[in-house]
Chains A and B, each alone.
Chain A
Amino acid sequence: MRRSIWAVGAVSAVAFTAAAHAETITIATVNNGDMIRMQKLAEDFTKNHPDIQLEWVTLEENVLRQRVTTDIATKGGQYDVMTIGNYEVPIWAKQNWLVALDDMPDGYDADDILPAIRSALTYEDKLYAAPFYGESAMVMYRTDLAEKAGVEIPDQPTWSDIQKAAEAMTDKSNDVYGICLRGKPGWGENMAFLTAMANSYGAAWFDKDWKAQLDSPEWKAAVNDYLTMMNDYGPPGASSNGFNENLSLFQQGKCGIWIDATVAASFVTDPDESTVADKVAFAQFPNKEGVDNHGNWLWSWNLAIPTSTDSEDAAKQFIAWATSKDYTKLVAENEGWRAAPPGTRTSLYENEEYQKAAPFAEMTLNSMQAATPDKPSVQDVPYTGGQFVAIPEFQGIGTAVGQMFSAALAGQMSADQAIQNAQQLTTREMAKAGYPK
C-alpha cells in the first residue's frame, strides 16, 4: 500500500515537479454529524496543504473502537489520525501508543481548551490528543408540560425535584412519559448514565483497594430510584432505548424530561428536526440532597496520532486544522453558529454570536465546568473518569454490568439480584485482570 503510494508519488513527481512530497494520511473517524461535516469542509485544509492528501475511514462508533483498538494494539499502522474518546487517551498514552501533541503549530492555542477537557487528555503533563468536540450531561425538559403540570425545575435540581416533576408530567393515555433515560446495555450507553447518576448519589465503582462497591447502599439507592422512575414514569420498552432512541422520542414530544449528553441540546432545539424545538429548557445534572456531585459526566471525541504512523508531521498539521478556532469559524460561515463543534474551547462560549444562536450554550458550559473527572466521587477512589472508569478492563465490565441493570429494567430480575450479579462479575473480572495492581 505504502509502496504503491510512493510509486504514484514518484510518477507524479516526474510529471509535476510541484507534487514532490505528496503524502497521504488515513483518518479513522466516527459517523457522527460533526465528523461528517469535517469531511465536507476538509477541502479548506487540502487547499492550503496541497502536498497532503486525506483518506477517510468513517465507521459507526463501536466498530470504529474495535478497529482502532485492534490496529493500535497490534501496531498495525493502518491509520495516521484516530478519533478516540477521552476514555482511551490516558490508557493509550500510558502504553506509549500515542504521539504527544506538545509541539502543535503556532496559533493552536492549547490554553484556550476547557480545563476539564484538557486535564482529561493530559498524561504526565503532556497533551496526547486534541479535542474535536466535548460534552457533559444535563437535564432537558419541556417547559409547556412543566407549566401544565404546575411544576418547576430549578437550575440545579435534586433527584427528588426530578422525580416529582416526572410524576406530574406523566400522561400515559396521551403517550407522554414523564422521564426518558437510557436503558440499552453498554458501557457507553446505560452505564454512562447510571455511573454518572451513582456518582451524584455519592457512590463509587471501587474503593481504594480496587474492591468493587456495587453493593454499597449508595449504588443500591441510585439503582432503585432509577428503576422506580423508569417503571412508573418512563416509556415502555426502555430497556432497549439508547441515546438515539430517546432523542427521537423527545423530538416527537413523548418525553417530559430527558437527562443526557449536552450535545443533544442542539438536536432537540433544531426546528427542522424537533417538534418541540421552542419548548425546551435546560438544567444541570441532578444531585442527591447533601451530596456535592453533579455526576461528573465528561466526554470528548478527540483526534490523536498513533506512534505507528509514518507521517507524523502531516497528521499534526491536519489535527491542528480540525481542532482550531479557525475551523469553528469555518463551520459558522458555512452552516451557522449553532453547528459549531461544542464543548472544547473557552473562546467559543465567550463569543456573543454563538450565545445568541445557541440557547443551550450557557448550561453546556456550566455543566462542563462542573465536571471533575479526576475526582469522580465524593469518596476516595483509585481511578479517574467521570461516567466511566479509566482502566482497560472497564469496557468489558461496564457492558456486562449494563446487561444486568437492563435486565432489571425489563423486569427479568429484581434490583437486588441485578446488583448482586453486577458485584460478583465485577469482582471476578478484576481478579482475572490481577487487581490490585
Chain B
Amino acid sequence: MATAHSRSAARLMISPAVLVLLGWMLIPLSMTLYFSFLRYNLLMPGTHDFIGFMNYRFFLTDPAFFSALINTLLLVGGVLVITIFGGVLLAILLDQPMWGQGIVRVLVIAPFFVMPTVSALVWKNMFMNPVNGLFSNIFRALGMQPFDFLGQAPLASIILIVSWGWLPFATLILLTALQSLDRDQLEAAEMDGAGPLSRFFHIMLPHLARAITVVVLIQTIFLLSVFAEILVTTNGGPGYATTNITYLVYAQSLLQFDVGGGSAGGIVAVILANIVAIFLMRMIGKNLDV
C-alpha cells in the first residue's frame, strides 16, 4: 500500500529522468516546428524569413506527396500482412518437436540481424538483378523471360525485402507466445474430437491475439520510417513508385538542402504517424485490456 506521502516522494525521485526524456523529445521537435515556418535553404545563405505555412503548402501540394502517403500505408500494410501470416505459420512449425530445433531457430532468426542496407544490396544485386541475379537465372532455366523486379514491381519488391527482415521478429514473438500455451487444453480439445484447423482457430489464435497486437504495434512504428531499403535499391523511383513520406523528407532536406521544407515534411510525418497510431489503438486496443 503506497501512502500519498511515499507516492509524492517517488514522483520527485523519477522527475529528473522524466525531464531529461521530455527534453530529449521536445527540444528537437520544437526546433523542427520553428524551422518549418522559415524560408531556410542551406544553399541560399542569409535568408531566414518567416513565411508562415508556405513550406506546408508546398509540401502538401508536392506532386509526390499523395503517392508517398499511399506508398507509406501500402508498405506498412503489406509488410504487416506478410509478417503476421508468415510469422504465425513459422511459429507453429518451429513449435513442433524436431531434430536440430536449436539450429533451425537460429537460422530463422538470422535475417533480423542483417543490416537493412546490406540485405537490400544483397537482394538487389544477387537475387533481383534481371541480368545476373539468381531469380533471373531460375527464370531462364525454366525457359521464361527474366522479370525486372525493381523496375516492374518496385513497391512489391521493397515490401518483399522489408518483410524478409521483419519476419524473424514476428516469428520470435509469436513462438514465445505459443510456447506459453497450455498443452492440456490442446490435448483436451483433441480428445473431444476437434480437428487441427478448429484447434488452431479456437484455441491457438485467441491465445496469440495479444502477441499479434504487440507485433502489429511495434512493427508499425518502425515500418512508418523505412528508409535504408529504399535508398539502396530504387532511390524512391521509378517515378514516385517507392517514395514514402520518410524518403520524401530526406529528398527535401538532404537532396535539395531545403531545411524549411524538410522540417515541414517532418512535422507532417509526425502528425500522420499519430493518426495511424490512434486508429491502430482503436482497432486492436481492446485486445490490450485484460
| Cβ of A195 under 8 Å from chain B | no
Partner among B42, B63, B150, B252 whose Cβ is within 8 Å of the Cβ of A421: B63
| Cβ of A376 under 8 Å from chain B | no
Chain B residues contacting A399 (CB-CB under 8 Å) are 251, 255
| Cβ of B240 under 8 Å from chain A | yes
Instruction: Report yes or no: B45 in contact with A237, Cβ–Cβ below 8 A.
Output: no
Separation of A285 and B130 alpha carbons in the complex (Å): 28
* Of A6-14, A115-123, A406-414, the one with at least 4 CB within 8 A of chain B: A406-414
Partner among A236, A407, A411 whose Cβ is within 8 Å of the Cβ of B237: A407
Partner among A186, A237, A421 whose Cβ is within 8 Å of the Cβ of B131: A237
Q: How many A-B residue pairs have CB under 8 A?
A: 107
Chain A residues contacting B154 (CB-CB under 8 Å) are 410
Separation of A91 and B152 alpha carbons in the complex (Å): 38
Chain A residues contacting B146 (CB-CB under 8 Å) are 236
Instruction: Report yes or no: A73 in contact with B42, Cβ–Cβ below 8 A.
Output: yes
A-facing residues in B209-268 (Cβ within 8 Å): 233-241, 243, 251-252, 254-258
Chain A residues contacting B131 (CB-CB under 8 Å) are 175, 235-237, 249, 254
B-facing residues in A369-402 (Cβ within 8 Å): 392-393, 395-396, 399-400, 402
Chain A residues contacting B235 (CB-CB under 8 Å) are 184-186, 403
Q: Which 10 A-B pairs have the closest CB atoms?
A: A407-B239, A396-B256, A73-B42, A237-B130, A392-B43, A407-B238, A236-B130, A410-B238, A410-B151, A237-B148
Chain A residues contacting B132 (CB-CB under 8 Å) are 252
Instruction: Report yes or no: A392 in contact with B239, Cβ–Cβ below 8 A.
Output: no
Instruction: Report yes or no: B150 in contact with A406, Cβ–Cβ below 8 A.
Output: no
For A186, the closest partner residue in chain B by CB is: B235
For A431, the closest partner residue in chain B by CB is: B58
Instruction: Report yes or no: B151 in contact with A66, Cβ–Cβ below 8 A.
Output: no
| Cβ of B83 under 8 Å from chain A | no
The answer to whether residues A396 and B251 also contact, given A403-B238, A407-B237, A409-B238 and a CB cut-off of 8 A, is: yes
Chain B residues contacting A17 (CB-CB under 8 Å) are none
Instruction: Report yes or no: B152 in contact with A406, Cβ–Cβ below 8 A.
Output: no
For A97, the closest partner residue in chain B by CB is: B45
| Cβ of A334 under 8 Å from chain B | no
Interface residues of A (CB under 8 A from B): 66, 69-70, 73-74, 91, 95, 175, 184-186, 235-240, 249, 252, 254, 392-393, 395-396, 399-400, 402-404, 406-413, 418, 421, 424-425, 428, 432
Indicate the member of B236, B239, B240, B255 with the most A CB atoms within 10 Å: B239
The answer to whether residues A392 and B44 also contact, given A73-B257, A236-B130, A399-B255 and a CB cut-off of 8 A, is: yes
Instruction: Report yes or no: B43 in contact with A239, Cβ–Cβ below 8 A.
Output: no
Instruction: Report yes or no: A239 in contact with B237, Cβ–Cβ below 8 A.
Output: yes
Chain A residues contacting B64 (CB-CB under 8 Å) are 400
Separation of A424 and B63 alpha carbons in the complex (Å): 9
1/0 contact trace for B120-144 toward A, CB 8 Å?
0000100001111000100000000
Separation of A69 and B255 alpha carbons in the complex (Å): 10
A-facing residues in B23-60 (Cβ within 8 Å): 41-45, 58
Instruction: Report yes or no: A237 in contact with B42, Cβ–Cβ below 8 A.
Output: no
Main secondary structure of the interface of B (DSSP, over half): loop
Indicate the member of B45, B233, B236, B256 with the most A CB atoms within 10 Å: B256
Main secondary structure of the interface of A (DSSP, over half): helix
Least CB distance from B241 to A in Å reads 6
Chain B residues contacting A238 (CB-CB under 8 Å) are 151
Instruction: Report yes or no: A240 in contact with B257, Cβ–Cβ below 8 A.
Output: no
Separation of A129 and B236 alpha carbons in the complex (Å): 33
A selection of 16 A-B contacts at a CB cut-off of 8 Å is A70-B257, A73-B257, A185-B238, A236-B136, A237-B130, A238-B151, A239-B237, A240-B124, A252-B132, A396-B256, A403-B237, A403-B243, A411-B151, A412-B239, A412-B241, A413-B239
Separation of A186 and B238 alpha carbons in the complex (Å): 11
Separation of A407 and B150 alpha carbons in the complex (Å): 11
Instruction: Report yes or no: A236 in contact with B148, Cβ–Cβ below 8 A.
Output: yes
Chain A residues contacting B257 (CB-CB under 8 Å) are 69-70, 73, 392, 395-396
Separation of A406 and B236 alpha carbons in the complex (Å): 11
Instruction: Report yes or no: A74 in contact with B237, Cβ–Cβ below 8 A.
Output: no
For B154, the closest partner residue in chain A by CB is: A410
Least CB distance from B272 to A in Å reads 22
Separation of A362 and B191 alpha carbons in the complex (Å): 87
Instruction: Report yes or no: B42 in contact with A69, Cβ–Cβ below 8 A.
Output: yes
1/0 contact trace for B98-131 toward A, CB 8 Å?
0000000000000000000000000010000111
Least CB distance from B149 to A in Å reads 8
Instruction: Report yes or no: A66 in contact with B254, Cβ–Cβ below 8 A.
Output: yes
For A95, the closest partner residue in chain B by CB is: B45
Chain B residues contacting A408 (CB-CB under 8 Å) are 238
The answer to whether residues A70 and B150 also contact, given A184-B235, A185-B235, A395-B255 and a CB cut-off of 8 A, is: no
Separation of A396 and B240 alpha carbons in the complex (Å): 14
Separation of A238 and B130 alpha carbons in the complex (Å): 9
Instruction: Report yes or no: B239 in contact with A73, Cβ–Cβ below 8 A.
Output: no
Instruction: Report yes or no: B238 in contact with A73, Cβ–Cβ below 8 A.
Output: no
Given A73-B257, A185-B235, A403-B240: 16 more A-B contacts, CB < 8 Å: A73-B42, A91-B43, A175-B131, A185-B238, A236-B151, A237-B130, A239-B237, A393-B43, A403-B237, A408-B238, A409-B238, A410-B154, A410-B237, A411-B152, A412-B239, A428-B63
Separation of A70 and B130 alpha carbons in the complex (Å): 37
Least CB distance from B23 to A in Å reads 23
Chain A residues contacting B44 (CB-CB under 8 Å) are 392
Instruction: Report yes or no: B43 in contact with A73, Cβ–Cβ below 8 A.
Output: yes
Separation of A69 and B258 alpha carbons in the complex (Å): 12
